[in-house]
Structure 1
């Protein structure tokens, strides 16, 4: 209704939606695609081979590609940067894993290449006209690859992963326990596990989700690079606040965190003043110890 009323005045509602790579792509399209690839491998009983390949992948740089655990297919306690690393190493790890299905290997390879290519172009810090044109072409190719993949795997019987079934069962049990508590007015413990009997449901690929249509390429031209309006910065700051909360005694922690922020700001000012007077830290150390510079 909202978009229809604006469309009468010639306004496109998608211009209001900036691309958030953290939630729309890394934790959205790519996570859903990776989950479905895992479902296919589980049906082929080849998920352990994928875990072994990821675990053997060497690290790169300081914090660019970290060591993968030996249970990547279970997707336990993975953050957005973990899914980003999984995508960057996906092409060699998934190579030749779908030989039992005719033509699926090439389709998966093309899909993983388009996903990696789109992600790399979207995260460029200094884009130009040529990279934006390349991003538009890769977006079209990515849509075609996703539709081709959805068509190819629609005949493969796939079901939910065990982790998905457990998560849905716990969520349903918690909801049932809350409803029962509100109805009875008692807060006693109940057998929540017996309330929700989760059955394994079948899953299918959806290539028409809303997150796919929110890849608005005009934001790169109008708003600049995606790192300037990504929610990743908020997540990093939240991690810092959470770390400081763990250093407090939980007693009036708001004031303690505020005092910690003030101390950090004061130390930064002192550090800047010292650098402005003595220059480099090595020069300051020589000055204090009385050593020649």
Structure 2
């Protein structure tokens, strides 16, 4: 080979090694840009849903055609009827008036028919009268006097107290009425933090003598059950009240039917001797 050509080849190799090469990748760049474009509308949709939730309202149209849409409409109507009852608006409304006041005018005829025939008619918190609807609380109380009568009746019948939630549900302006009654009501908080209202019967408030209190507290009954307490009272000549508490019923034992053993089946043996053996249960047969 010509030495000049060899020299030129070596020079070409040196120049090629000294210059860096950069590859262009166009496809991944396009995919990343498309991902960015796709992510924008998702972010916008999430922002829109956040705005709806912060406003305290949900889009019923987004749930149209599903059971969630129907029950969302029902929940909104029941909550509205409860709020207006607590405001003192206890008169009945037609379905069109309810839909107008709750701004649910875009629902279809199927949903209206479902509300009239099933949802509102069978709801325990809705009262239907002459095709009109109103809220139906557990205790329908008009004023503070009605609340006091209810608590007094519960106290006399031994039914205990009434939940504050039930009172607030059925008594318009309940907080104002309860405040006006003052010490005529006693509040007791349950372990689940729910408050119960009791009637404060002032006729039952009397002063007990200190000597009687000392005698009462001197008798320990922590480690004694009901039977031991009853036995102690009998020794002291005091009869306990037996018929006031719930009676314990003894378990009823089922009797076996006498004819149940008739149907029992026993195993029979000696089937192969059926034509040979004779039956002597009625005595010895006469000789032929």
Using the size of structure 1 for normalisation, the TM-score is 0.21
Kindly indicate whether structure 1 or structure 2 has the higher relative contact order, using CA contacts under 8 Å at least 6 residues apart. Answer: 1
| Greater Rg over alpha carbons, structure | 2
Query: Greater strand percent: which structure?
Result: 2
